A and B are shown apart, each in its own frame.
Chain A
Amino acid sequence: MSAENSATGAGTGTAPLVPLHCLRHLEPGPPRLGALPTGTPVWLVSRHADVRQVLTDPRLGRAPLYAPDAPPVSLTPNLLDAPQSLLNIDGTEHQRLRRTVQRAFTPRAIARWRPWVASVVEALIDELIDQGPPADIVAAYTRPLPVAVISRLMGLDGLDGKRLAHWSDHALSTIAHSAEAIGNAMAEFAAFGASVIAERRDRPGDDLVSSLLTAAAEDGSITEQQLITLVIGLVVAGHETTMTTLGNALVYLLGDGRDAWQRLASDEASAAAATEQLLRAVPLGDADHLPGLLRRTVEDVEIGGVVIPAGSVVAADTGAANVDPEVFTGDLLTELFSPLAAPMYTFGAGPHHCLGAWLARMELELALHRLARRLPSLRLARPTEQIDWRRGLLTRSPNALQVAW
C-alpha cells in the first residue's frame, strides 16, 4: 500500500510538503469566485459564519451538484461522487437513508464502545513497545487502530488490510489514480459490499451491517445500490479520516507541539480538549483538489453580503473558517487544552454533519492519551521534511512516520 501510493507523488511535484498544521489558509473575507480543477467556477466561502450558513441553509444542497444540468466538479469521480449515496442526496430521502445507521452513531451509542476501543489501543501500544524503537507509528498504530474499530463495528473481522488500503486509496483519489483504476477498484469494493450484505441477510449478527439491513427493510424505500454504497462508504469513512487525523496530529505533537505531550498523558479530559483543537486546526488535506465542502444553490442566496445566483457551486472552506481570526485567537500551542471559542466545522454542520464524529473523537482521545501515558519520551526519529506523504487524495497523511523513545 505505501509503495503503491508513494508512486502517486508524480504530477504533484517532489518538493517537500509542509505538515498539515503549517498549511496557510485562505484569508477570510466575503465569498469570492474561484475555479475547481475541472474549470467549473466556484464561490469560495471562508468566514466562520458564512461557512456555517453554506452547510445549514436548505437553499444549498448536495444533490444539485449531481443534477443533469450540473457542471463537472471532479476530474476523476471517486466514491464520494456516487450520485445516490448518503452524501449526495438531501431532504427526506437523505433522512430516511441516514436513519438506518444514525442510531449506532449517537454519542451514547458510541460511548458503549469506549472500554473496547481502549483495549485495542493498549494492545497496539503493547506490541509497539515489544517491537522496540525505532518504529513506524503509522503501520503500528494510526492505521491499525481505526481499521480494527470499524471492522469490529461492521463485523468485518476477516477483512484483508491490504485490500482495504487499496480500496480506500482509490475511494478518495483525486489525481493519484486513473478513472479506470478507480472504476475497477470501486467495482471490486462494491462486490465486497454486496457479499457482506448477502452474508448478513443469511446470518444476521449484532453488527452495524445487520442493523442497517433491518432498518432498511422496515423503511422499504432504500435501493440495493444505496445499501452497497452505504456499507462501503462506512468502511472507508470509518477509518480513513481517523487514521489521517491521528497521523497528522502526531506529526504536530511529536514535533512543533512536543511541549504538550506530558499534559496529554495526564488525564482523558485534557486529551479530549486537545482532540477538539487538533481537529479544528489541523486540516485533513490540502485544498488544491477541493477548496472546501461543496454545495450547489437551488435559488439565489445571499451569503456574507454577496448574492450568489441559483445553480452556483459553492465551497465551504472549513479549514479557513476553523482559523478565522474574528472567532479564534491564539495559536494551537497556546490553545491546545482550552475549550473551543466557537464550533469547528471539520465534521461539517447541517444535514450532512459527519455521522462518525463521535466515534472519531473517542478514538483520537484514547489514542493520544494512552500513547502519551505509555511512551512519555516518544519523539520523531526524522525531520518532518523527510516525511513520505500519501498524495493525490482528498486527504493527506504520512505514509510512514518513524518514531523512537
Chain B
Amino acid sequence: MTAGPQAGADAVVVRVDRDRCIGSGMCALSAPGSLALGADGLAEPVAGHGADGEELTPELTEAVDFCPVEALTLYSARGGHRIAPAE
C-alpha cells in the first residue's frame, strides 16, 4: 500500500496526468464516484474531486494505487501537498 492519509483527514483532489493516461478505465470502474472516462477516452475527475475536493474514499485510494501507468495523483484540497502515491 502507498501511504494514505489518516481516516477523516482533509478533503482531497485527484489529478490525472493526461499525457500518461492510456484510458485503461480501471479507475472509473473502481471509483465511479470520483473518476470517469471522458469523451476522448481518458480519465477525468468527477465533480468535487476535480475542484474543491471531497472526502477520500477507499475506492479512490484503490483507483490511485491500481492505475497501470500511475497517471493519478492525490493532493490535499486544503494544504495542496501530495498524498499519494508517495514521492
List the interface of chain A (C-beta within 8 A of B).
52-53, 55-58, 91-92, 95, 98-99, 102-103, 105-108, 343, 347, 349-351, 353, 355, 357
The reply to whether B25 and A98 form a contact with Cβ atoms under 8 Å apart is: no
CA of A353 to CA of B41, assembled, Å? 13
CA of A355 to CA of B85, assembled, Å? 19
A254 to chain B, nearest CB (A): 31
The reply to whether B22 and A58 form a contact with Cβ atoms under 8 Å apart is: no
Give every chain A residue within 8 A of B66 (Cβ-Cβ). 99, 102-103, 106
Give every chain B residue within 8 A of A343 (Cβ-Cβ). 22
- Given A52-B41, A56-B41, the answer on whether A105 and B68 have CB atoms closer than 8 Å is yes
Q: Does chain A have a CB within 8 A of B23? A: yes
- Given A108-B85, A353-B22, the answer on whether A53 and B41 have CB atoms closer than 8 Å is yes
CA of A43 to CA of B24, assembled, Å? 23
Closest 5 CB pairs of A and B: A56-B41, A56-B23, A353-B22, A349-B22, A95-B29
The reply to whether A351 and B85 form a contact with Cβ atoms under 8 Å apart is: no
The reply to whether B26 and A102 form a contact with Cβ atoms under 8 Å apart is: yes
The reply to whether B65 and A58 form a contact with Cβ atoms under 8 Å apart is: no
Give every chain B residue within 8 A of A55 (Cβ-Cβ). 23
CA of A198 to CA of B6, assembled, Å? 38
Partner of A107, one of B22, B37, B65, B70: B70
Partner of B24, one of A53, A92, A351: A351
Q: Does chain A have a CB within 8 A of B30? A: yes
CA of A350 to CA of B26, assembled, Å? 9
Give every chain B residue within 8 A of A357 (Cβ-Cβ). 68-69
- Given A53-B41, A350-B41, the answer on whether A106 and B22 have CB atoms closer than 8 Å is no
> 11 extra interchain contacts, Cβ-Cβ under 8 A, other than A91-B29, A95-B30, A350-B41?
A52-B41, A102-B66, A106-B67, A343-B22, A349-B22, A350-B25, A351-B24, A351-B26, A353-B69, A357-B68, A357-B69
Partner of B70, one of A58, A108, A351: A108
B62 to chain A, nearest CB (A): 9
CA of A102 to CA of B69, assembled, Å? 10
Give every chain A residue within 8 A of B68 (Cβ-Cβ). 102, 105-106, 353, 355, 357
Name which of A52, A347, A351 has the most chain B CB atoms within 10 A of its CB: A351
Give every chain A residue within 8 A of B37 (Cβ-Cβ). 56
Partner of A95, one of B22, B26, B65: B26
User: What are 26 pairs between A and B in contact, CB < 8 Å?
Assistant: A52-B41, A53-B41, A56-B23, A57-B41, A58-B25, A95-B26, A98-B26, A99-B66, A102-B66, A105-B68, A106-B66, A107-B69, A107-B70, A108-B70, A343-B22, A347-B22, A349-B23, A350-B23, A351-B24, A351-B25, A351-B26, A353-B22, A353-B24, A353-B68, A355-B68, A357-B69
Give every chain A residue within 8 A of B69 (Cβ-Cβ). 106-107, 353, 357
Give every chain A residue within 8 A of B25 (Cβ-Cβ). 56, 58, 95, 350-351
CA of A106 to CA of B62, assembled, Å? 13
Give every chain B residue within 8 A of A91 (Cβ-Cβ). 29
Name which of B24, B30, B67 has the most chain A CB atoms within 10 A of its CB: B24
Which residues 19-35 of B have a CB within 8 angstroms of A?
22-26, 29-30
B63 to chain A, nearest CB (A): 11
Q: What is the chain B residue whose CB lies nearest that of A345? A: B22
CA of A351 to CA of B23, assembled, Å? 7
Q: What is the chain A residue whose CB lies nearest that of B2? A: A108
A157 to chain B, nearest CB (A): 27
B70 to chain A, nearest CB (A): 5
Partner of A350, one of B24, B67, B70: B24
CA of A355 to CA of B22, assembled, Å? 12
Give every chain A residue within 8 A of B67 (Cβ-Cβ). 106
CA of A62 to CA of B69, assembled, Å? 21
The reply to whether B30 and A350 form a contact with Cβ atoms under 8 Å apart is: no
Q: What is the chain B residue whose CB lies nearest that of A105? A: B68
CA of A2 to CA of B56, assembled, Å? 54
Give every chain A residue within 8 A of B70 (Cβ-Cβ). 106-108
Give every chain B residue within 8 A of A105 (Cβ-Cβ). 68
Name which of B22, B41, B85 has the most chain A CB atoms within 10 A of its CB: B22
A188 to chain B, nearest CB (A): 31
A20 to chain B, nearest CB (A): 24
A389 to chain B, nearest CB (A): 31
Give every chain B residue within 8 A of A353 (Cβ-Cβ). 22-24, 68-69
Give every chain B residue within 8 A of A57 (Cβ-Cβ). 41
CA of A196 to CA of B62, assembled, Å? 29
Which residues 28-64 of B have a CB within 8 angstroms of A?
29-30, 37, 41
